[in-house]
Structure 1
């Protein structure tokens, strides 16, 4: 219960003030004139002014409300290290018992890892708690954490002390691997630098040495080891081994006694791109498809094209001087002997032996392919003649043998059963042709017999091999058994996907990873990993997945397209995932190079110091025991050795209000009249 004197003026305050001023003025005038009853008149006026203010006694029946203690429990990844989960549980249990003993209500919020890589958002959780309870009941707030809070700058304006109950131990130490200066893209064949750094944090034990081992592996392949000085940046030159995505893992072995090895590894993903695609196109007898090849290759700004067309054989006797046969001399030695290794792809388009290229140069082409080069032969009728390019050293690497028969009849190219699975020809667009047919017709094909080990991915007339692929040692070869792909480019009978087909074919020849026919790949979108297994054979087995923390699970693949099997999983952790299926392995990294929760793992008070000092709060280490809770007045120090303070808020709920006038109106009038009468009598007697 509470009682207060209140006023309920009968007139506006300005009118009562004016009346009081008038009374005072008249009384002062009476005093100046020497009237002995002036003070009685002043009292009578004061009584009337008070009567107009209507003083009353207000009585409230109050129900006291308990004070509230806000508790934020950090359950992020860094809080799962060592014995911190047990410390957190003990601290929370002790706080709840202390709060109950002091009659405090509690509100508890648990904070995990933020979405993506936001880290520990303890202040956001505290703000949400504060918004859910009456502000005048909040007696204090406690954060149970290792102190590594990533939104400390968003601390709410608390009306009571903020405390940190810190987990972790003074003897904790940790080693961290940092990778910086890593680009998103890099040019194949060119070295670039990334920066490595090893940092030791916390109570580092003596005798660890000034260097640490760093192990580097690309796409889960053969690891390489380096010695890196601790506490210093080390520039490391790297060259990407292949185009497309390269997953590079850096790892330093776990040292004895360190807090965790989760930050001993870092994963970066760099896309390898070719600076310029160098293509050598050698055309034989001019034909309508020659411009198709040239336009296709010149349309790509990233392609450096060297194109030579042989219009006239050297043995032709027409009286034209040799100096007038071409603008420049055909640099056969330079192209096929000195600089052949600089080309990414060599194309022979309807080329036949005419004495232009000696056998030794074609033998160089064969060696170029066997050492990792790419060769595409677009065959016309010339391939079936005695002067065929097959009748040269290239016969050892070509994937088919000509039968000397040229089939000249309309046919529609079709993808073979094997081609339905091969990445070069799978799911080619089929919305080109007219009259309900997928593609337009071609009218000429060279009959060939494909080698047993080759891959026939497209068929032509009566099922004859049309597009044959083969691997030759470290290189690759393709044979297109027709010179009429240009009909698709011209849109004859609706045309066909010649640009897409030739683009895939060129990239497969240059060994782009996304077009490997036997491959295990993974792609990440957010925390979801899509696993794809390509194969030309039977259905593969389950994929073994090793998570960053070492847990192993199996993933069953389902056929999405012929030869392509996929599955999806959601990665609960950030870091490197290893996937294995038979002899195929790959890796995929989720999240940044180093997850934020493991950048700093040593418990600290420094991050929250500003927010705690602003509210006179304190910090206590859980390893020293759960502190007592004590009530302290507002503005006083709210923490000490072994205790944390809370501010009593004296909040209440008003159940009933009663208002009673202190003096009845008639008594005010009687008192004012009596005082006025006494003043008159005193002055009249004078």
Structure 2
């Protein structure tokens, strides 16, 4: 119970002040004139003014409130190293008990890893905790952490001392592998340079060199010895196109705090610098420009195009010295530099003696060794001078029957073609029905995959693998009708683009493939196959644990599954004879960039509140109450500031000058003044 005098003026203060001024003037005049009753009249005026102020005695019935202390427990990934989690929990319970013994309420806040590799959001959690409590009751704040936070700029206003109890030990040390300057893309067959650095922190051993293992796509690693504390420039060339997953690992040292940052994953897409294509046209025709326009539209393609304008049998009497045609460098192209080309296209070409059988045999060997040849067949393919009737017979996907079907037909995708990446989804790339073609070369006994059919359901587009290389046969020279928009046209450019890229072994067009697309810790596993069913996928995590999942068919030839990766690192996938690797999470997790506990980052903020930094390893300090503004940390103790908060239960107001008493006193004083002046 507390009592205070309060005023509730009956009139506005300015009016009471004016009346007081008038009373003082009158009183001064009375004194100046020597009136004997001026003292009594002055006392009466003062009593009236006091009554107008409405004085009263306010009695409050108060209930004292306990102080509040906030304990923030860091549960981020770096706090799971060693025995830090157990230290934090034990220290929090001890600290809570000691604060409770001082009559302080405790609010415990748990902090997990921030989303999207944002690290430890310690200040955000503290700010949220303070916002939910009355600021007038906060007596102290305690952070139980390794001191590695990533949101210091979001520190809230601190109404009481802030303290840090860190989980570090004197013997802690850590080794970290850092990859700098890794490009997202690299050109195949060109050397790139990665910069690596191995850093030791804490009470690390004095190692001048350590081993480093390097592997690509999960293959058997190669081991090197590298120095510690110095940048290392590592030259390398990507082994294949598409995604290359590079894993760098330095073995865990004895007593090291964690090996999680001893591994670095780098994912680099391999792209071809220039795709070299040799296009050989047997003679000028309406569709000849189609292939040229397609290949020239791609800036990454180097095209060498020859058209046989003047075959040897042509006799028109034109003197040789007046011809301006460029000689066909057959020996250079088909013997000396044939391996420099990624793709050779024979567009309506027939045997005319320009390419001897030895050169054509060399083309067949080129395919068996990994090259690619595409035959765009016209009527010449069905005749006696067909390329099929040459050493190329061994690689051509189908044999011509000598029949040329000159009739209108609409190309159709076969059931197998619906599943093959070259023709899958082509229907959706063109509005309306496809236009018809007007000519097709009949072939028999096709080998490989028939993706499209034409007149009389005869094979129209055939793909095959020969040795290490690839061949395809388009049994028509009328694809250009789609490009001209004949009867609505069709997806001609997309079909030919896919066909050419499949021939050049672009990874996204492989018919049997397994890969994954990562989003954060979630991966979408994709299996493409020409079969109706595929094997389940086996996922091997960074810790060696295996998970088997079924794959669901989402479209013809495409099977998918969604997997949530429990940890950051390299995952290996296997489905049948297909394998793949993918890295989940950031290449350098923020939580493991710095793992040695320290209070350096928080020290300026803590000093501003008078708080202290202590190691839990030395024991949990005692709790003392200190006055606001005084140092709140000392040897073996940390301080809290009592706030003296309370809540008012009731208020009683008693007037100091009851109306009847005021009237009686005023009457007595006026009467006394009148009698005194009258007696005089």
Deviations 1:505-556 (A, max 9, x none): 1111111111122221000123321111223346333222223344332222
User: Which residue is 1:300 aligned to?
Assistant: 298
- Does residue 283 of the first structure (1) align with residue 281 of the second (2)? yes
User: Which residue is 1:335 aligned to?
Assistant: 333
1:596, CA displacement in angstroms?
A: 0.8
> Distance between the aligned counterparts of 1:649 and 1:75, measured in 2?
30
> Distance between the aligned counterparts of 1:137 and 1:290, measured in 2?
86
User: Which residue is 1:423 aligned to?
Assistant: 421
Task: Describe the SS at the equivalent of 2:189.
Answer: coil
Task: Describe the SS at the equivalent of 1:390.
Answer: coil
Deviations 1:200-227 (A, max 9, x none): 1111134xx2122222222223433333
Q: 1:477 to 1:431 in 2, by over 3 A?
A: closer
- Does residue 443 of the first structure (1) align with residue 439 of the second (2)? yes
Find runs of 4+ consecutive structure 1 residues off by over 6 angstroms. Answer: 29-41, 672-686
Q: TM-score normalized by structure 1?
A: 0.91
1:294, CA displacement in angstroms?
A: 1.9
Task: Describe the SS at the equivalent of 1:127.
Answer: helix
Match of 1:345 among 343, 346, 349: 343
User: Which residue is 1:509 aligned to?
Assistant: 503
User: Which residue is 2:535 aligned to?
Assistant: 541
Checking the alignment, whether the CA contact within 8 Å between 1:220 and 1:585 is kept in structure 2 is: no
User: Which residue is 1:115 aligned to?
Assistant: 115
User: Which residue is 2:202 aligned to?
Assistant: 202
Aligned residues: 680
Matches within 5 A, 1:454-533: 454-533=448-527
Checking the alignment, whether the CA contact within 8 Å between 1:173 and 1:204 is kept in structure 2 is: yes
> Distance between the aligned counterparts of 1:550 and 1:3, measured in 2?
74
Checking the alignment, whether the CA contact within 8 Å between 1:147 and 1:608 is kept in structure 2 is: yes
1:325, CA displacement in angstroms?
A: 4.0
Task: Describe the SS at the equivalent of 1:450.
Answer: coil
> Distance between the aligned counterparts of 1:481 and 1:324, measured in 2?
38
Match of 1:252 among 250, 253, 256: 250
> Distance between the aligned counterparts of 1:29 and 1:303, measured in 2?
114
Checking the alignment, whether the CA contact within 8 Å between 2:406 and 2:438 is kept in structure 1 is: no
1:672, CA displacement in angstroms?
A: 6.2
> Distance between the aligned counterparts of 1:184 and 1:133, measured in 2?
48
Matches within 5 A, 1:253-268: 253-268=251-266
1:250, CA displacement in angstroms?
A: 1.8
Give the RMSD, CA atoms, in angstroms.
2.9
> Distance between the aligned counterparts of 1:546 and 1:432, measured in 2?
41
- Does residue 50 of the first structure (1) align with residue 44 of the second (2)? no
> Distance between the aligned counterparts of 2:392 and 2:30, measured in 1?
135
Task: Describe the SS at the equivalent of 1:263.
Answer: helix
1:35, CA displacement in angstroms?
A: 7.8
1:642, CA displacement in angstroms?
A: 3.4
Q: 1:37 to 1:413 in 2, by over 3 A?
A: same
Checking the alignment, whether the CA contact within 8 Å between 1:352 and 1:382 is kept in structure 2 is: yes
> Distance between the aligned counterparts of 1:442 and 1:674, measured in 2?
132
Q: 1:549 to 1:562 in 2, by over 3 A?
A: same
Task: Describe the SS at the equivalent of 2:116.
Answer: coil
Checking the alignment, whether the CA contact within 8 Å between 2:278 and 2:341 is kept in structure 1 is: yes
Q: 1:222 to 1:497 in 2, by over 3 A?
A: farther
Checking the alignment, whether the CA contact within 8 Å between 1:350 and 1:380 is kept in structure 2 is: yes
Q: 1:235 to 1:431 in 2, by over 3 A?
A: closer
The 10-residue stretch of structure 1 (534-543 or 304-313) with the greater mean CA deviation from structure 2: 534-543
> Distance between the aligned counterparts of 1:146 and 1:8, measured in 2?
57
Task: Describe the SS at the equivalent of 1:129.
Answer: helix
1:680, CA displacement in angstroms?
A: 8.1
Q: 1:617 to 1:40 in 2, by over 3 A?
A: farther
Checking the alignment, whether the CA contact within 8 Å between 2:381 and 2:441 is kept in structure 1 is: no
Checking the alignment, whether the CA contact within 8 Å between 2:440 and 2:460 is kept in structure 1 is: no
User: Which residue is 1:239 aligned to?
Assistant: 237
Q: 1:444 to 1:679 in 2, by over 3 A?
A: same
1:31, CA displacement in angstroms?
A: 6.5
Q: 1:672 to 1:616 in 2, by over 3 A?
A: farther
